[in-house]
Amino acid sequence: MTKEDRDYIMGAIAFMFPSVRLTADDIESSWAGVRPLIFEEGKSASEISRRDEIWQSPSGLITIAGSKLTGYRKMAETVVDLVMQRLVKEDSRPFVPVKTKRMPISGGDVGGSFFFPGFVEAKMEEGVRRGLDAALAQRWARMYGSNADRLFALAERYRDEAASGGLPLEVLVPLVYAVEEEMALMPADFFIRRTGALFFDIEWVRQWKQPAIEWMAAHLGWTPEQQASGAAELDRFLHEAVVPQVEAAVENKGTDGDRQGNPGETRETQGEPRELGETQGNLGNSGETRDDLVLQIKA
């Protein structure tokens, strides 16, 4: 997050809640996302549509851009549907309809959102029966969903190691799970990309980073140089989460490699095709905007 990002959020807080009187010292962590936008001549980032759009070039190459991560499955479904339509026309082969809409993601076998509270309660009780603290079992059920069973099994497997010192079960089990099940290769993978702890519980990261790094080094066979590199990377992310970054000067213009629309090329928005003009469909650098600015405030 840049200083401008931070000041923008702090200013909004001060305007809406003047009695709170927050300062930069109250910020525990922060992050900002960058959303890719489809460049349109003469429009600022705030005026450009956030919707995803699809092109097919004369060579048959399909390109999708725009939208954001929360819509990635719908975007993927739209592209696969388009590919199937093209293949049916070319080869007259039947294809099974896309099922992604109702296909649970990993850990999503919880009976749907309506039954999720009951699922969490049942898993908490199961965790207690298996010797876990109720709050910890509940937290794992909420975070890992139906994959919590794997963490419960790991807790039984690593109970003696946790008892011997180093890392408690609440850290060791998610760490082992991240390495064995989620392809975590570096400390930042675990503390940021798998658990999100750096954003939501930064003191937890500071408390357990060193023993976690030592465990990863021992179990992944790191050299001293690899261990130092992983530690340095995590320290950099810890610093960046608190200290605003210097805004780099970026030329706000397209490059020779920008994606250009061509006459007769089909452009589709939410499945609705339309024709592109000569100057539309540009994916230049100006087609980006800061998005999802978040400050984590100390309790």
Contact 80, 95 (CB under 8 A): no
Q: How far is CA 110 from CA 14, 83, 104, 115, 177, in A?
A: 40, 32, 9, 7, 19
Q: What is the pLDDT of residue 198?
A: 96
Which two three-digit tokens encode residue 114?
């309506």
Q: What is the pLDDT of residue 193?
A: 95
Higher-pLDDT residue of 112, 49: 112
Whole-angstrom distance, CA of residue 35 vs CA of residue 100: 24
Q: What is the pLDDT of residue 266?
A: 38
Instruction: Spell out the domain ranges in the chain.
Output: 3-102+250-297, 106-147, 158-242
Q: What is the pLDDT of residue 288?
A: 56
Residue 54, exposed/middle/buried by CB under 10 A (0-12, 13-18, 19+)? buried
Contact 66, 52 (CB under 8 A): yes
The angle formed by the CA atoms of residues 180, 183 and 189, to the nearest 5 degrees, is 115
For 260-286, what is each residue's pLDDT tens digit? 333 333 333 444 433 333 333 444 444
pLDDT band with cut points at 50, 70 and 90 for residue 102: confident
* Architecture of the structural domain at 158-242: Orthogonal Bundle (1.10)
For 285-296, what is each residue's pLDDT tens digit? 445 566 667 888
pTM of the model: 0.76
